[in-house]
Structure 1
Amino acid sequence: MTTDETPTALDCGTTIERLTEYLESGRTPVDRHIESCPECLNALEALERVGRLSRDLIADDAARLPATSDGWFERILTTIHSELRAGRSFPISHPDPRVHITVTEGAVKALLRTTGDSLDGVYISRTQIEGDAETPGAPVEINLTASVRFGIPLPELADELRALAHDTLLRHTELNVTAVNIAVEDLHGTPPG
């Protein structure tokens, strides 16, 4: 890997190119490793999301996007790739002291992206978990960066996204979330008139 290129292999060794080919083939023939590897499944979901977003943006915004050497699509892929790494392990308590359960940072980020993307007109482009999430009970802040369809009232959307993300983390993790911060970095879609 050179310093100018984005890494193309996941920690399990599967390349993004292989996952793209697999997705384009309709996931046939079935690749047992990809279909059973959490990291590959997260990457497939991210690639599907990027595909949906890119089709929507191309159809709506292509004429207005500035030409750059580092295009918007490449930036999205770079961010998603960096977030697919397993990262830190966050503990989950269990009544049996012999049982050790954790959820990876990558899985929590995928959960946050999926939760945010469930809102109409919202695409979560970046997630960050700030704080010592590896220590049970330590306070953490969640930072979500989103692209929002033009015309959606941002204050109401931020409140809804914040509540949804907090509820999701409360149900699926034991993180002590003290804040969910929302940043809208982009508006997509065409303004009327």
Structure 2
Amino acid sequence: MTDGGTPLGLDPEDLDGHTIEELTDYLDAGRVPADPSIDGSPGCALALDALERLRSLTPDLIARDTEEEPEPDASWVQSILDGIAMDARAGRRIPLTPPDEHADLALTEGALRGIVRAAENAFPGILIGRCRIDGDLTVHDAEVALAVEVSVPFGTRIRQFADELRAEIAARIDAHTALRVTAIDITVQDISSGKVE
């Protein structure tokens, strides 16, 4: 626990006063009864989405690791949890359009990380961990570079996969922001024992 925060190092204001434990309990209950203070919070939405993705993959990966290794290393789980903590923080404000007197549209850095992390949905069995964003996000039409860490199933053709993931992330960022992505570096941090089918 950090001082007054959650086990992931989040402060209550990052999740609009809620904690990771509350969000986990909310998922366990099937989000019933509905809690508008959770459902209406962007930070909670990002954290819930990441927890659901992690939850869907964790049992299978741990079972495979248990079969093949006496003591599976759970550091990759902590890496994903750290990513959830980062995603839930709003971070810098990214303008979506040039400022004008009638409209000031923006996206948060946390939401941008959520867009990047959602690219994993296009590749069954992978997990996106840490995502670093370099560049001045506060300037409209800024150039940025991304560094993304991933875990992939055994048997993945890594070079082909990296190209496909890079294209998927670039397309998602282009669809939702005015940022100009100059580079997307993909680092495979872990290869899980589950094989690609």
TM-score above 0.5, yes or no: yes
Letter in 2 for 1:189: S
User: 1:191 deviation in Å?
Assistant: 6.2
Distance in 1, Cα, partners of 2:111 & 2:60: 26
Distance in 2, Cα, partners of 1:9 & 1:134: 23
List aligned pairs for 1:12-91, cutoff 5 A: 12-63=16-67, 64=69, 66=71, 71-91=75-95
Distance in 1, Cα, partners of 2:70 & 2:76: 9
User: Which one is further off, 44-53 or 76-85?
Assistant: 76-85
Q: How many residues of Structure 1 are paired with residues of Structure 2 in the alignment?
A: 190
Given that residues 60 and 190 in structure 1 are in contact (C-alpha distance below 8 angstroms), is that contact kept between their aligned partners in structure 2? yes
Distance in 1, Cα, partners of 2:176 & 2:70: 38
User: Which one is further off, 100-109 or 57-66?
Assistant: 57-66
Give the 3 Å change call, closer, same or farther, for CA 72–176 of structure 1 in structure 2: closer
Partner of 1:132: 136
Partner of 2:190: 186
User: 1:116 deviation in Å?
Assistant: 2.5
Partner of 2:9: 7
Q: 1:103 aligns with which of 80, 100, 107?
A: 107
Distance in 2, Cα, partners of 1:71 & 1:147: 11
User: 1:150 deviation in Å?
Assistant: 0.6
Distance in 2, Cα, partners of 1:173 & 1:123: 23
Given that residues 150 and 191 in structure 1 are in contact (C-alpha distance below 8 angstroms), is that contact kept between their aligned partners in structure 2? yes
Distance in 2, Cα, partners of 1:191 & 1:102: 40
Given that residues 83 and 131 in structure 2 are in contact (C-alpha distance below 8 angstroms), is that contact kept between their aligned partners in structure 1? no
User: 1:67 deviation in Å?
Assistant: 5.8
List aligned pairs for 1:103-182, cutoff 5 A: 103-182=107-186
Structure 2 residue runs of 5 or longer lacking an equivalent are none
Give the 3 Å change call, closer, same or farther, for CA 168–62 of structure 1 in structure 2: same
Give the 3 Å change call, closer, same or farther, for CA 164–6 of structure 1 in structure 2: closer
User: 1:13 deviation in Å?
Assistant: 1.2
Given that residues 91 and 134 in structure 1 are in contact (C-alpha distance below 8 angstroms), is that contact kept between their aligned partners in structure 2? yes
SS of residue paired to 2:190: strand
With normalisation by structure 1, the TM-score equals: 0.88
SS of residue paired to 1:188: strand
Give the 3 Å change call, closer, same or farther, for CA 6–176 of structure 1 in structure 2: same
Structure 1 residue runs of 5 or longer lacking an equivalent are none
User: Which one is further off, 90-99 or 144-153?
Assistant: 90-99
Calculate percent identity across the aligned residue pairs: 37
Distance in 1, Cα, partners of 2:39 & 2:188: 33
Distance in 2, Cα, partners of 1:79 & 1:66: 24
